[in-house]
Amino acid sequence: MKACFDHIRIESICTVVPERRVMFEDEIDQYNFTRAQSLKLKATFDLHERRVVSEGVCASDLACDALKTLLEHDPSLRNDVGAILYISQSGDYILPPTSNLIQARFGFGPDVYCVDINQGCAGFLIGLFQAAQLLQCTDVRKILVINADALSRKVSGRDRNSNPLIGDAASVTVVARRDDPCTTVFDIRMDGRDALALWIPAGGARLPHSSSTSELREDASGNLRSQDHLVMKGDSVFNFVQGAVPPLIEDTLAQARIAKTEVDYFLFHQPNRFMLHKLAASLGVPLEKVPANVVRTFGNASGVSIPMTICHNLSSVLRAQSLRCCLSGFGVGLTWGAAVITLGPLSYCLLKEYQVEKLS
């Protein structure tokens, strides 16, 4: 689906990561692989540490900390917000929607539209796309796009294929209507035929949790996981990304009528450094325009990885000036999307650690 929107802008972003750090070497003895094999994986994917939630902390807690920070920075935001979009695969409950709980937690009124969106690695693009539609067709002035996931709890600690990659985080992005013209171009694509390349088999209506689904089983590669855990077919995902994402980005840039050389930064979802460098090579863009340092420090935080990349790498720059950026997210669904957008100047842009005491 292609679309162009005028008069929208990202006003501020706050990203929150858990304070708990897990180093790659901390878990190396859990895997059915030699130390040398695991260290080779670490070097190839540039894996060092990741952030994971502590016991009792939900993805929404991280999101509420981010929202509290933004409200402290700009109290007027409380009266300007007309919608809360919560994009996550880590909802607090099967029902009610987590967005409604956040609405109540911060005292937003009943006229604030709340919706949960079940999306993962392309979730930031999906959230921006939905926000742009609402801003265009309603009288809403500002929208909270909340991306939050704590998938570390859905990954087997014995799965070397996935466990070292996954991190937890949340971000709140304020998307607002603007008076001056500023065109944002989107292209979102989906293909459910390969959806099971990334999935959690048990826990839904099709296969409820049971003692049987929780049993660990070894796969052909030596990883141990149960049906309650995330399954990622790494080769299939890699081939999908390398085959589908470059032409999507080329098409989106053509739709926006700009050349790759006119883009200041390509801000992509970060599954690992190896995949990002391959994407940069396929697109023929310099590595310095494709930040790839988030997953090595915080882990792959699903739909939070793009706002995390922005806050981690461009915070000071974007508070002072604007940049033309190409965003792209790709993953579960399978879903892949791209956007050409002008970012900045932002009123707030920060990555911080979770502060549980602030939420009392």
What is the domain partition of the chain in residue ranges?
A: 1-206+216-360
In the prediction, which pLDDT does 360 show?
40
Task: Give tens-digit pLDDT for 191-206.
Answer: 999 999 999 999 999 9
In the prediction, which pLDDT does 178 show?
84
Measured CA distances, 177 to 155, 157, 228 (Å)? 39, 44, 42
In the prediction, which pLDDT does 357 show?
56
Tokens of 118: 């079940």
Which burial class, exposed, middle or buried, applies to 168 when counting CB atoms under 10 A from its CB (0-12, 13-18, 19+)? Answer: buried
Q: What span, in angstroms and rounded, lies between the C-alpha atoms of 187 and 168? A: 27
Q: What span, in angstroms and rounded, lies between the C-alpha atoms of 246 and 275? A: 12
Q: What span, in angstroms and rounded, lies between the C-alpha atoms of 95 and 116? A: 10
DSSP letters, 157-224, are TT-TTTTTTB--EEEEEEEEE-SS---EEEEEEE-GGGGGGEE--SSSSSS---TTTT--EE-TTS-E
Task: Give tens-digit pLDDT for 340-359.
Answer: 999 999 999 999 999 875 44
Among 324, 322, 323, 292, residue whose Cα is nearest residue 308: 292
pLDDT grade for 182, boundaries at 50, 70 and 90: confident
This prediction's pTM: 0.95
Tokens 């060092």, located at residue = 48
> What is the four-CA torsion angle of 250, 255, 261, 264, rounded to 10 degrees?
-100
Q: What span, in angstroms and rounded, lies between the C-alpha atoms of 124 and 337? A: 10
Amino acid at 149: D
CATH tag for 1-206+216-360 (out of 3.40.50.150, 3.40.47.10, 1.10.3720.10, 3.20.190.10): 3.40.47.10
Task: Give tens-digit pLDDT for 113-155.
Answer: 999 999 999 999 999 999 999 999 999 999 999 999 999 999 9
Task: Give tens-digit pLDDT for 67-77.
Answer: 999 999 999 99
